[in-house]
Chain A
Amino acid sequence: EIVMTQSPATLSVSPGERATLSCRASQSVRSNLAWYQQKHGQAPRLLIHGASTRATGIPARFSGSGSGTEFTLTISSLQSEDFAVYYCQQYNNWPPYTFGQGTKLEIK
């Protein structure tokens, strides 16, 4: 099973600043990596697939990068609605699909 590790667990950033979230895979997942945003009491929302492709309707301030075992989600200028929990997920080697434990992005 591929283990996904996200860092940091909590990230405090001011509105308008850049946020950088990391995700590491225990073995290569090539570019088969997705990022989700989950707000309190809501279902996860797909942001990024293929490590760097924005899903339909996702603003350009969200960008993903990386391949193999190291991935990054960058939010270029944080808006109030971006404060949420973010999860990465690999879909290269399955079953099982595996998620990271999440990064909580909070207002500084």
Chain B
Amino acid sequence: EVQLVESGGVVVQPGGSLRLSCAASGFTFDAYTMHWVRQAPGKGLEWVSLIRWDGGSTNYADSVKGRFTISRDNSKNSLYLQMSSLRTEDTALYYCAKDMYPDSSGYYGPGDYWGLGTLVTVSS
């Protein structure tokens, strides 16, 4: 059974930093691109970032580019999101999601499995 468990969400002051983690199990972690998606309270879904299977390629939403860094440790089946220069508008539930296609397919698609999310609150 595929499981994704996010952690690391806390209350942080504007300008602060935080690292989120996502522990993956139940699938071959190092075969898949992984995503972070966030949802502000009462709002819709916003894609944040992705990382290819080997960490060799990453992409970011403009809203977080230069402030957030996605990474992974395939030896630990873990995904990370380092967040810095946090703003109040970064307040959200952060989900990690597994891409539905293995990287070897050459395709990139939607997230077929999602964690329950971890809540980041940026407030003074």
Contacts and interface: CB of A to CB of B under 8 A. Distances in A.
A99 B110 contact: no
Contact of A43 (B44, B109, B115): B115
B95 A43 contact: yes
Interface of A is mostly: loop
Interface residues of A, number: 24
Is the interface on chain B under 10, 10 to 19, 20 to 34, or 35 or more residues? Answer: 20 to 34
A67 interface: no
Contact of B47 (A42, A98, A101, A102): A98
Interface string B104-122: 0000111110111100000
A95 B60 CA distance: 7
Given A32-B109, A43-B117, A44-B114, A95 B59 contact: yes
A46 B111 CA distance: 7
B45 interface: yes
A45 B111 CA distance: 9
Nearest to B62: A96
B95 A91 contact: no
Nearest to B108: A91
B100 interface: yes
B45 A87 contact: yes
7 contacts: A44-B114, A49-B100, A95-B47, A95-B50, A96-B61, A96-B62, A102-B44
